[in-house]
Chain A
Amino acid sequence: MAVDRAISRVGSGAIESGRALADVRTWFPLLAAQLRRLGVDSVPIALFIAVFTGIVLSLLSKYIFTGAVPLYFVGALVGKTIMMELGPVLTGLALAGRVGANIAAEIGTMRVTEQVDALETLAYNPRSYLVVPRVLAGGIMFPVVTALAVAVGVTAGWLTAINLLDLSTLEFVKGLRLFYRWKDIWFGLVKAASFGIAVTLAGSLMGLSTRGGAEGVGRNTTRAVVLGCEAILVLDAFWALVLL
């Protein structure tokens, strides 16, 4: 019976989501604002993280490789690691805090102040109006922000290498290109897109299910961030198993 109920809930959730997605007239005009809020406004924190990740990776790889492996491998390690793992995951975790908390708190406050009910009485579907534009914006903008973070992270690694590691630009680029495959890029971006969808969905669902005033908003905002981070780590392992 429990399985039946679970299947029925997943089924009705899927139908509801499909219905919300089909209501383009409602969510499309709201998409641009969410692309800006979720994506553009998240660029500074993502780049801040990327700069320091690039510096540390460069220094760390020198420490690991000295006396064992030619130093131009620094470029390979910095490039591969940032493109495939640290770029998407660290950006995703940072945005799970920033974006996931923002969405959960906003929708949660709307829920406890009856603004979500008001939307429904005005014949809007809250999923179309509140959830779809945020989830789509997450799916579109997380890869964009991650791509910027990867570029900045690799650049920071390169600048560290030529200034602090006695490595020339040619050597760094040689290492960077040594094992490079196109897959390194798209693997990271596919992960980022899935993180974006997971984080925004967690924020939205936690927001909509908020009960009980300010305390409820605080509780569900925390839950949204925790759920978003957990989803990122699980999805990270999932994509590694499926795509590598």
Chain B
Amino acid sequence: MRFGRWCFCEAGEAVRADKAVSGCVGGWVGSSIGSSVGVSVGPPVRRSAGPLRMIQFQNVHKSFGPKTVLDGFSLSIPDRETTVVIGYSGSGKSVALKHIVGLILPDSGQVEVDGQAVDRLDPDGLKDLRRKVGYVFQFAALFDSMTVAENIALGLARRGLSEGKIDRRISDSLALVDLPDTQTRYPAELSGGMRKRVGIARAIALQPRYILYDEPTSGLDPVTSAVIDELMVRTRKELGVTGVVVTHDMRSAYTVGDRIAMLYQGKVRQEGTIAEIQATGDPIVRQFIEGRPREAAPDSGATVGA
């Protein structure tokens, strides 16, 4: 798979570098992605120094009826890195992710994005926050009644872009996910993997600062999973976005993550770099990352810091 080179113009418009290098001012041109073996890229997107850019969960509690899902969840997600949140199915990973864009509000504690508490934002503030974030849903959540192009255009139209710019962003983002000829097709005509890639294209087209991926590889065959993993890595390196990935697929976590945090019983059990997680002495974390049956590990022991 080969992908064209991208750059960011000052106006914030992503353009194919091989077509419009002369139009770029002060951006960067990443080197092309070579093969499926690895990813070679240029320097990250240069950004001006500004206010604190990160996502922070501070002692978040969330229950649904009698079921406590988050029970003092605290995590800092640094800028321009990809943080992977791992954990058992039903452990509240997706619930945590939805807190970032205010789809779910905490019972107590708070979630801050760029220094702003999400639950205290007024509707306009929430819209502004959501404009900074691309969300890739577990089952893609494409709009059934719309074509692929219309799905991608919907979020772009909200930003007042001209039709020409919208068309260019649609074709560029679909090229990036290697689905250039699907514009007029409906979601029902696509395979699960293609739908997920369109979901990623829909998020990328918005040129967000953050991309949140909810179980991006679940239900996919290993090869398609690897394609999605590579796409996530490329998205971070080429577009310089901060990523949060929720998954229980450890191969995917090791491929795309800079940092890994394990969510267990509503709290972060351990957080650290991939090497730190792989060298963990925590039996719960070790059991999870090695994929051993639940009975085989002792269910005790204090949280071990990385």
Contact = CB atoms under 8 A, between A and B. Distances in A.
Contacts, number: 45
B158 A114 contact: no
B138 interface: yes
B139 A114 contact: yes
Given A114-B137, A117-B141, A118-B141, A123 B103 contact: no
A124 interface: yes
A125 B144 CA distance: 18
B143 interface: yes
Interface string B204-248: 001000000000000000000000000000000000000000000
A123 B130 contact: yes
Contacts of B143: 110, 115, 118
B93 to A, nearest CB: 15
A117 B130 contact: no
A66 interface: no
A122 B159 CA distance: 10
Contacts of A121: 101, 103, 130, 133-135
Nearest to A117: B103
B123 A125 contact: yes
Interface residues of A, number: 14
Nearest to B203: A121
Majority-rule SS of A interface residues: helix
B81 to A, nearest CB: 21
Contacts of A117: 98, 103, 135, 137, 141
B121 interface: no
Interface string B156-184: 00100000000000000000000000000
A41 interface: no
B154 A122 contact: yes
Interface in B108-143: 123, 127, 130-131, 133-135, 137-139, 141-143
Interface string A103-133: 0000001100111011011111100000000
User: Chain A CB within 10 Å — which of B98, B103, B127, B141 has the most?
Assistant: B141
B72 interface: no
B141 A122 contact: no
B27 interface: no
A22 to B, nearest CB: 11
A19 interface: yes
A211 to B, nearest CB: 10
Contacts of A118: 135, 137, 141-143
Contacts of B206: 122
B242 to A, nearest CB: 16
Given A120-B130, A123-B127, A123-B131, A114 B138 contact: yes
B210 to A, nearest CB: 11
B44 interface: no
B78 interface: no
Given A114-B138, A114-B141, A117-B137, A122 B123 contact: no
A120 B101 contact: yes
Contacts of B155: 122-123
Contacts of B141: 113-115, 117-118
A118 B103 CA distance: 10
User: Chain B CB within 10 Å — which of A109, A113, A114, A118 has the most?
Assistant: A118
Contacts of B103: 117, 120-121
Nearest to A121: B135
Interface string B62-100: 000000000000000000000000000000000000100
5 contacts: A113-B141, A122-B130, A122-B206, A123-B127, A123-B155
Given A118-B137, A120-B130, A124-B158, 11 more contacts: A110-B143, A114-B137, A118-B141, A120-B103, A121-B101, A122-B154, A122-B158, A122-B206, A123-B155, A123-B158, A124-B154
Nearest 9 interchain pairs by C-beta: A122-B155, A114-B141, A121-B135, A118-B141, A123-B127, A123-B130, A114-B137, A115-B141, A123-B158
